Amino acid sequence: MFWGTCGVVACTLLLKIWPLVPMVISAETRERVRTTVEGTAAREGWLLSDIVLLSVSPETLRLAYRPHLRGPDSDDCLELHTYTGTLRPCP
Amino acid sequence: MPVVSITILRRYLLVVLLQCFAILLALVQSLNGVRTDEAKYLLNIPYPHPPLLRFLMGNTEAFPFQELFWRLLFATLLVQAVWIVADLGRSLATEKRVTLCLLWLTAGSLLFQAGTVMMAPITALQGLIVVWFFLKSKKLDAGSSQLAGVALFWLASLFTAYQAVLYAPVVWGIFRRNGCSSSRASVITVVPIALLLLYVAGNPLAISSFISAGGQNAGSSYEGITGSIVVAWLTAGSGILSVLGTYGALRSGRKELFISVLLLFTFLLVSFRAYYAVLFLPLFIAGVAAHPAVLQKSHLVAAAQLCCAVLLLAQTPLSIGSSPARHVMQRINDLPGTGVVLIHGSFGHEWQYESRIPILRYRSALLSKSKAVVCLERCPEVARYGFYQIANMGEEVWIRR
């Protein structure tokens, strides 16, 4: 039971982390992601705590923007171009 | 038969009295309104803690009295946990057992934190259950479902709040005392911690929050931090329980308890927050229960603890001032029209909690899509963009014409 639960938790977490691996293994990518996300948040007025990073690729970041407030929150999936800072809805 | 009935009746009466105490503690905390950390959990904002409890809390957002519901629930759990404390003292004489319960109920950290919607009191409660397993569990079969239950509880505690890791030595002790080999006990204790680290690796916001928390003591002097930790340690057990519990943990011969106490002190040295004081509480109770010789003069201990608790309460002014967020956002929520709310200056999550409209950080470029602007710092250019200021709000609030 315990080991089964640990296995399920581990699989769930690994599935979540896998798209973020480029950021985990490369300090340069991590820094680029940080500056891009912080710059976009400052430009759009977003709170960093409303952003969840979903995946990282060489040119784009996929993120969920969810402004938290009482009641149902909207949940937008967005693609952010890391060099131009362009935002567009996820395809 | 009548004796049994009276005993049961007395127990029900005690439950009701304890519940009244819990309600009082919750109501006192509600006078302050929702604080930024509380809002973070009530809205399930995804940092810094893992998701288990905050996910449940976030799912009650639709409750009209969500804040009060969780305050009452947390206060009830903490106060009624005295029955676990009573069970820890089952082998003691009645007077000593009652004193042990009194030590729990009059501990400063319980009085000041039971009605807060924070993770620390719940972690303390989980810590109490962990020490109960540690001190009370009889020989369980190494492969038994009960031991698996303890392991699952450990996993759940870690995924409620990171600070549960401070009780890891005691958890390890449970497995060792119940027939697990040293290596097996270590694996069962460490695997959930490894899963927690895996969770952290996928949450950059949690990592940055750790870095910020780790550096928050950097600007304070060594004397300042040490003084704060001593005050937190004393407040946690209203003085008497703090001293007896720490001494008991040291003298009981249960090294796991004392290592947990030391871990907690070390953690506070790195990342001090006054609300972590409650994490001492289960360790103090375990220290007293494991070394009941400290309760030899139980009348004296009870009287001294009561006096200290009263003194502590008398020295702490009743805080009624809530943040302006509720007052301001109630006004803005009621206004017609669409658009976001812009806030200028540093603000906490309580503003999001009180809002029905998305909140953005102020930038003059965003004024065109805003319905209202709250200036916690001065924002002189707003008047030029067709906004008028509302009077008597306590804060500078501008509304679109």
Query: Measured between CB atoms, which of B145, B195, B355 is closest to A1?
Result: B145
SS3 B343: strand
Residue numbers in B near A47 (CB within 8 A): 352, 359-361
- Binary contact (B357, A16; C-beta < 8 A): no
Which residues of B are less than 8 Å from A45 in CB distance?
340, 342, 360-363, 366
C-alpha distances in angstroms, B218 versus A9, B48, B109, B166, B222?
35, 20, 25, 22, 9
From chain A, pick out residues whose CB is under 8 angstroms from the CB of B198: 10, 13-14, 17
Residue A80 in contact with residue A87, Cβ under 8 Å? yes
Instruction: Give me the DSSP letters along B59-72.
Output: TTTT-TTHHHHHHH
Q: What are the DSSP calls for B10-60, one per residue? A: HHHHHHHHHHHHHHHHHHHHHTT---HHHHHHHTT---SS-HHHHHHHHTT
Please indicate whether residue A30 or residue A77 has the higher confidence score (pLDDT).
A77
pLDDT in tens, A13-70: 999 999 998 888 888 888 888 889 999 999 999 999 999 999 998 889 999 999 998 8
Inter-chain CB proximity A69 and B43 less than 8 Å: yes
Q: Which residues of B lie inside 8 Å of A (Cβ-Cβ)?
A: 40, 43-47, 61-62, 145, 148, 151-152, 155, 159, 188, 191-192, 195, 198-199, 201-202, 204-205, 340, 342, 349, 352-363, 366
Terminal Cα-to-Cα distance of chain B (whole angstroms)? 76
> What's the confidence (pLDDT) of residue B182?
93
Q: Each residue of A19-48: b (16+ CB within 10 Å) or e? A: ebebbeeeeebbebbeebbeebbeebbbbe
Tokens standing for residue A11: 């699989």
Structure token digits, residue B34: 């929702």
What distance in Å separates the CA atoms of residue B265 and residue B277, rounded to the nearest whole number? 10
pLDDT at B109: 96
> In this structure, what are the phi and psi dihedrals at residue A73, rounded to the nearest 5 degrees?
-100, 140
pLDDT score, position B216: 66
Give CA–CA dist B142/A76, Å, rounded: 48
Greatest Cα pair distance, chain B, in angstroms, is 82
Cα distance from N-terminal residue to C-terminal residue, chain A = 39
Q: From the list A47, A52, A69, which residue is nearest B361 (CB)?
A: A47
**Interchain CB distance below 8 Å, A43 and B363:** yes
Picking from B152, B204, B356, the nearest residue to A53 by CB comes out as: B204
Give the residue from B361, B395, B394, B352 showing the smallest Cα distance to B376. B395
Nearest C-alpha in A relative to B60 = A71
Spell out which residues of chain B touch residue A49, defining contact as CB-CB under 8 Å.
40, 45-47, 205, 349
Interface test with A, best of B189, B352, B357, B379 (most A CBs within 10 A): B352
Is B349's CB within 8 Å of A68's CB?
yes
Can you tell me the distance from the alpha carbon of B206 to that of B195, in angstroms, rounded to the nearest whole number? 15
CA B197, B201, B202, B203 dihedral sign is: positive
| Token pair recorded at residue B12 | 């029900």
- Count CB atoms within 10 A of the CB of residue B1: 5
Residue A30: which residues within 8 A CB-CB, separation 6 or more? A23, A24
**Tell me, what amino acid is at B190?**
V
Residue B113 burial class via C-beta count within 10 angstroms: exposed 0-12, middle 13-18, buried 19 and up:
buried
pLDDT of residue B382: 84
The token duo for B61 is: 């957002």
Q: Is B203 helix (H, G, I), strand (E, B) or coil?
A: coil
Look at residues B177, B88, B90 and name the one whose alpha carbon lies nearest to residue B140.
B177
- Comparing C-alpha atoms, which of B387, B382, B373 is closest to residue B340? B373
Tell me which residue has tokens 């931090």: B225
Instruction: State the Rg of chain A over Cα.
Output: 15
Assigned token pair, B57: 């809390």
What pLDDT score was predicted for residue B338?
A: 84
Q: How far is B199 from chain A (nearest CA, A)?
A: 6
CA A13, CA B393: separation in Å to the nearest integer?
Answer: 46
Residue B401 neighbours by CB distance under 10 Å: 7
**A17 and chain B in contact, CB less than 8 A:** yes
ipTM: 0.90
Q: Find which of B355, B369, B374 to mutate to test the A interface (most A CBs within 10 Å of its CB).
A: B355
Number of cross-chain residue pairs from A and B with Cβ atoms under 8 Å apart: 92
The backbone torsions φ and ψ at residue B361, rounded to the nearest 5 degrees and listed phi first, read -70, 145
Consecutive 10-residue averages of pLDDT for chain B (401 residues)? 72 94 95 92 90 93 92 98 95 94 97 95 97 83 78 96 96 91 94 94 76 68 89 95 96 93 94 93 96 93 96 85 85 88 94 93 91 89 85 86 82
The two structure tokens encoding residue B301: 């201990």
Domain ranges (residues) in chain B: 3-314, 324-400
Judged by CB atoms closer than 8 Å, whether chains meet at A71 and B356 is answered as yes
The confidence score (pLDDT) of residue B17 equals 96
Question: Contact A17/B148, CB-based, under 8 Å?
Answer: no
pLDDT at A29 (0 to 100): 86
Contacts of B46 in chain A (CB under 8 A): 49, 52
Q: Is the CB of B201 less than 8 angstroms away from the CB of A9?
A: no
User: For residue B385, what pLDDT is reported?
Assistant: 82
A76-81 and A87-89 strand pairing: antiparallel
Are B59 and A70 in contact by the 8 Å Cβ rule? The answer is: no
* pTM, full prediction: 0.91
Are the C-beta atoms of residues B96 and B107 closer than 8 Å to each other?
no
